[in-house]
Amino acid sequence: MMSKGTRAMIRRTQFAIVLRWLMLLTAGFCCLPFIANAQDQLSVILRFPAVQILPGEPLELRAYFYNESPAVFTGSLPETLAMRLQSADAAATLVTAVETEAGPPVNMAPGQFSSKTYRLVVPTVFAGTVEVVPLGHPESAVLLNAAEPERVAAKAKKAAETPSAAPGKEHYPSLESLFSLYQPYVVNFSAYEPMYFLVGMNPEDSKFQISFKYRLFNPAGSLSQAFPWLRGLHFAYTQTSFWDLSSDSAPFEDTSYKPELFLLSSNWKNRPKWLRGLFFQTGIQHESNGRGEQFSRSTNTVYIKPILVFYDEKSALGLQVSPKLLTYINNNDTTNSDLADYRGFSELEIKFGKANGLVSTTQLRFAERGTSLQTDLTYPISKILKNNFDMFFQVQYSNSLAESLINYRQRSETLRLGLSFVR
């Protein structure tokens, strides 16, 4: 058995190695926005006049073209833009946005941008949240809220019956349609980590998690145009609670609160052809359980995580591999000074499955005290109930050290069943 002094020396050596790699990788990551975009001279960002759109009617949008190369761009901006539209209830569809008027050739020095107005008609088959992706620029995806088909049909019927009706009197069928008028930044919110509610086979081991992220900078703003890496700067928040459902009062055994600031790169354009996606994420995360005295637990981690994505469109099969290197800063020296011994300095996440079917997610943590494993299987319930219930059925198996902060030195083995909203 190793002495405390030997373990401390090993931890210091591991810390130094991880920190050295982290600094090198972070330095390389900071250069990625400039290396990755050298292949294509212009990138494009779409800006719509409103989040709420009406399918079937012409819609004008503004496209911003940014010169990301070290050379001057001279030429005409494209007359048309091809885009892919996709929603939960409609298959992916290619549409074309056409320029509203021809413009003269432009001269853009490196780092400058120019814009142009296009007209687009969203097909009436789309309703609810619609993802708009300009072809060749998946990093510029935009989420819009399309009105319900009933509203589109009703408006067309009303227009036919009263062609001279005064314009500007809009009908808002839902609170969200009015809410979006006053919340132009809501499109910056999106899901982050999985969100679920799971009941343990032993009810005292039940668990739920919520998580979201928020993009901090407008991708079409002047700062993002001058410093493209700012488009990937996000604030995130994740909360994981362990709930004892077997007791009469159903107390929470422990809760981890995890605010985070991270930078996510766009898809690296110089990646190998066989690799569908290559992203890099680096950030700092605080984690604590919000309790006091001997029950207090807190830590901070700095990490870097490459994300490799393999995907076959014909079979809809995908594989994501995400190794992660991290180091700890300001552990609570009184109550969890040895947390790194149980969580380690490296992690690996592997996701595999069909985009519209069964997906397996496995997370591994490698630590001095042992390896931790968590595996999740998720399947869309809508496939069973004919698209009537937008959730996933989830099975989670965990055999982990430090699954919760309060009992981080104990290994727990748990099987849980439940529902997830984001997998």
Query: Which position has the token pair 């499955």?
Result: 353
Binding residues: 249, 291, 296
Q: Where do runs of H (alpha helix) occur along 369-408?
A: none
Binding residues for Ca(2+): 249, 291, 296
Active-site residue 234, yes or no? no
Q: How many residues does the chain have?
A: 423
Q: Which one of 69, 114, 286, 346 is the catalytic residue?
A: 286
Query: Which position has the token pair 């991290």?
Result: 326
Q: Hey, what are 188's tokens?
A: 């910056």
* Rounded Cα distance, 302 and 347, in Å: 13
Neighbours of 247 (CB within 10 A): 11
Contact 420/196 with Cβ under 8 angstroms? yes
Active-site residue 286, yes or no? yes
Sheet holding 52-53, edge to edge: 42-47, 58-67, 113-121, 93-99, 80-87, 128-134, 142-146, 52-53
- CA 310-316-321 angle, to 5 degrees, is 25
Q: Is 222 helix (H, G, I), strand (E, B) or coil?
A: helix
| Residue 158 φ/ψ, nearest 5 degrees | -65, -40
Q: Which one of 288, 398, 400, 404 is the catalytic residue?
A: 288
Active-site annotation, residues? 286, 288
